[in-house]
Structure 1
Amino acid sequence: MARKTVKDLFIHELSDVYSAEKQITRALPRMARAATNPLLAEAFTAHLEETQGQIERIDQLVELTGLKLKRMKCVAMEGLVEESKELLEEIEKGAVLDAGLIAAAQKVEHYEIASYGTLIAMAKHLNLPEAADLLAATLAEEKATDVKLSKIAEQGGNQAATLESKK
């Protein structure tokens, strides 16, 4: 389907982020198992639950608006997930891997923050206030997860990785 209108673009972007969220639900359990920092593992597990709620919110938005999502794969998220898989294959379990996982997760969060911010603006333009509210709830969660990951890194995750890599 050609994206000729803001509505077409909104549907495309919403379909894209829906795919992204589905992909991250498959990646987060692997990341949680690989993390050695208990706070990081818990953050990944908590975000998995949030992500499942975010998918439900998109389903609710679709039901409210009558829009039909397109079947598509978010290529950007596919690349970000692939990067995290490479980390798991290349770096021994420990503080350095934890630091890499934090970086990978924050890349995902920043992609999602950008996506939801754009979708909110489009929903408002399309006069879909309920959709904008649902998307804003997800945006707030994505921002909070990003902050939580930064705090984990600042509270010792990255320092431990630095010490470990000097051995």
Structure 2
Amino acid sequence: MGLFSKDIQTMDDLYLHTLEDIYYAEQQIEKALHKMIDKASDGALKEAFEKHLQETKDQLQRLEDVFSILDKKPKGVNCPAIDGIIKEADELSKEIGDEKVLDAALAAAAQAVEHYEMARYGTLIAWSQEMGRTECADILKRTLAEEEAADKKLTQIAEKRLNKAP
């Protein structure tokens, strides 16, 4: 079921599709974070990625809780947006020889991911509230707060250390 497919007829269909989209995205992000941790040379950046890896695992569990509340089996649908962000970061990282420049690129790529997630979670929270799914909204708000905190942390690391011109 694609975002603009005729399979999406109702707000419930759209809500479920978006939930499946972010579930898939979180699974891909979990895989990508392992690689980003290995590539990062800056200690603070590596630590931020490691912390967010654990948060991502928790976020996947929370999404599974939301699926359970909805009496749906957790599953993901392909998300070309997150696939594209991750692919671009991976390809770019292969072109960078300087580890300090690579750290800056990794932080920027991670922030692109965070912004995608914040958009998705914000939308799901709004729809949850509109649809009377307060319990779902509360669960998703915890994840949104973590995504916002991760983005803020990446900004601090980048501005303090990574974005400095040699």
1:150 and 2:150 matched? no
Residues 113, 142 of structure 1: 8 Å contact kept: yes
Q: How many residue pairs are counted as aligned between the two chains?
A: 161
Match of 2:4 in 1: none
Higher relative contact order (CA 8 A, sep 6+): 1
Residues 46-87 of structure 1 show CA distances to partners (whole Å, capped at 9, x for unaligned) of: 101000000000001111221345542111110011011112
Residues 124-150 of structure 1 show CA distances to partners (whole Å, capped at 9, x for unaligned) of: 111110000010000000000000000
Match of 2:84 in 1: 79
Residues 41, 103 of structure 2: 8 Å contact kept: yes
TM-score, with normalisation over the residues of structure 2?
A: 0.93
Q: Which runs of 5+ in 2 are unaligned?
A: 2-6
Percent identity (aligned)? 46
1:131 and 2:146 matched? no
Match of 2:107 in 1: 102
Cα RMSD of the aligned pairs, angstroms, is 1.1
1:141 and 2:146 matched? yes
CA distance in 1, matches of 2:75, 2:47: 33
Residues 25, 52 of structure 1: 8 Å contact kept: yes
Residues 18-57 of structure 1 show CA distances to partners (whole Å, capped at 9, x for unaligned) of: 0000000000011111111100011111101000000000
Q: Once the 2 structures are TM-superposed, how far is the Cα of residue 121 of structure 1 from its aligned partner? A: 0.6
TM-score, with normalisation over the residues of structure 1?
A: 0.93
Match of 1:28 in 2: 33
Residues 34, 93 of structure 1: 8 Å contact kept: no
Match of 1:89 in 2: 94
Residues 11, 68 of structure 1: 8 Å contact kept: no
Aligned AA (2:127): M
Aligned AA (1:61): V
